[in-house]
Amino acid sequence: MQRTRKAAAVGTSLILAGALAGLFGSGPMSSTQAAASDSSFRIEYPRFARFEAPMSLVFHIDEAKAQPIDIRIQKEYLRNFAVQQISPPPVESRIEGDYLAFMFESRGSPLIKFDLRTERFGAIHGTVNVSDGAPVIVKHFIYP
């Protein structure tokens, strides 16, 4: 009986600590960023999200990148989301093999934001790159 209570207390404490850290929503563990190995861009994205909830991919693109800027997102990855808004809007979008490409005009220090809504739960990952730069793998876990 004593062991069961202690195990329950430890389990409850771990769940509470995980929730406070962002394991189940917002918090320090809930978001992350990754940079291309050639420093052409970095992307901020949530590690964890909820099914049918909004989330964003934020691209910070190196100012030295030539115009126009092409962001390529793997089609298989993007099928897990509904694109709600892209800011600024792309001047062109097209299919390039296994990728959807979005072309943007660059002004100053480009920041491009994709607002998405999750449409599948579980582990999701995909590849993104900017203007033929080094690819970055984005990974999420979407809770039901």
pLDDT of residue 79: 97
pLDDT at 8 over 70: no
Find all residues with CB under 8 Å of 47, minimum gap 6, and list them. 29, 30, 31, 32, 139, 140, 141
Q: Which long-range contacts link 40-43 to residues 24+ away (Cβ below 8 Å)?
A: 40/65, 40/130, 40/131, 40/133, 40/134, 41/65, 41/130, 41/133, 41/136, 43/128, 43/136, 43/138
Residue 5, SS3 per DSSP: helix
Task: For residue 51, report the phi and psi dihedrals to the nearest 5 degrees.
Answer: -60, 135
Could you please report the per-residue DSSP string of 95-115? EETTEEEEEE---SS-EEEEE
Tell me, yes or no, if the pTM score tops 0.85.
Answer: no
The larger pLDDT score, comparing residue 139 to residue 10, is at 139
51-100 pLDDT, tens digit each: 999 999 999 998 766 678 999 999 999 999 999 999 999 999 999 999 99
Percent of the chain with pLDDT over 90: 66
Percent of the chain with pLDDT over 70: 79
DSSP designation for 8: H
pLDDT at 16 over 70: no
Domains of the chain: 31-143 (2.60.40.680)
Q: Give dist(CA 77, CA 81) in Å, integer.
A: 8
In this prediction, residue 24 has a pLDDT band, given cuts at 50, 70 and 90, of low
Average pLDDT over residues 30-50: 93
